[in-house]
Amino acid sequence: MKRDIKKLNVLTIVLLLLFVSCEQTGIVPDLNVEPDQELTLKAAKVKASAISYSIVEAVPISDLCGSLPTTTFIAGQNYEAGSVQIANSKTKLYIAISMNEGWELDCTHIYIGTFDGIPFNNGGNLQTGNFPVSTCFKKGTDQVIYEFNKLDFPSQVTILVHGEVSGISSETAWAFGTAFPDASRWGWYIDYTMKDCYVPPPPR
C-alpha cells in the first residue's frame, strides 16, 4: 500500500472543493471551522487494500473537473456531524470530510468500487472492517482529504464513507446517500460518475 502524506493546507482543499460545488450546484455549505485549525495525523494503518491513495491538504482549483453536491456526514443516525464532498480532476479522485463544530474525526473506512463488491456478512450487515481504506487520526482532527488515482477505477463507481467520530458522544457516521433496503444496519452508498474536464477548443 503506497501512502503519502503531503503537508499542505487542509482547509484550502475543503474550501476549494466546496467552492466548485457551490459554483456548479448553487449549494452554499456551512463549514463551521476555524481558519487556524490544522490537520494532525497519527500513523495511518490500512488493513488490506489494492487501492493506492494519499492524504493531501491542497489541490489547485483549476485541476478540478467537477463534483457532487456536498452531502451530510450523519452520526448515530441523528446528528449532522459534518459534510462529505466527492470530486475529481483529470487524473485524481478526491473525497473530503469536514467535521462540524464540536465534532472530531477519529477513524474513517472508505469503499470505492462496484456495487456488487461491497462487503456484507451473511446477515446482511455492512463489513466496514473490510473496506479497502481504513485510517485513524490524532485527537482534534476535523478535516481530511483523500486523493486516489482516477485511472484505478471505472468511470462509474459506488462509494461508501464510514467514520468513527466523537462529539456529543462517540458514534459511527455515514456519508448520506442511497439506503440499503436489505441491510440489517443503517448506512448509505453514493454512486459517482467521473466528470470530464472541459478542454477549450483551439483558437480559430
Convert 140-155 to b/e letters by CB count within 10 Å (16 or more is b): ebbbbbbbbebeebee
Where is mean pLDDT largest: 20-24, 48-52, 62-66, 92-96?
Answer: 92-96
Lowest mean pLDDT among 1-5, 120-124, 152-156, 158-162: 1-5
Ordered by start, the domain boundaries in the chain are: 3-193
pLDDT for position 20: 37
Q: Which band of pLDDT confidence, cut at 50, 70 and 90, is reported for residue 1? A: very low
Output helix, strand, coil percentages for the chain, rounded to the nearest 5: 15, 40, 45
CA distance 152 to 113: 10
pLDDT for position 51: 86
pLDDT digits (tens, 9 = 90+) for 90-147: 999 999 999 999 999 999 999 999 999 999 888 778 899 999 999 999 999 999 999 9
Nearest to 189 by CA among 82, 78, 99, 111: 111
Tell me what the mean pLDDT of segment 162-184 comes to: 91
| Residue 160 exposed, middle or buried by CB count within 10 Å (0-12, 13-18, 19+) | buried
CA distance 190 to 199: 27
Torsion over CA: 146, 75, 195, 119 (sign): positive
- Assess whether pLDDT exceeds 60 at residue 41: no
Tell me what the mean pLDDT of segment 14-38 comes to: 33
Residue type, 159: I
The whole-model pTM stands at 0.74
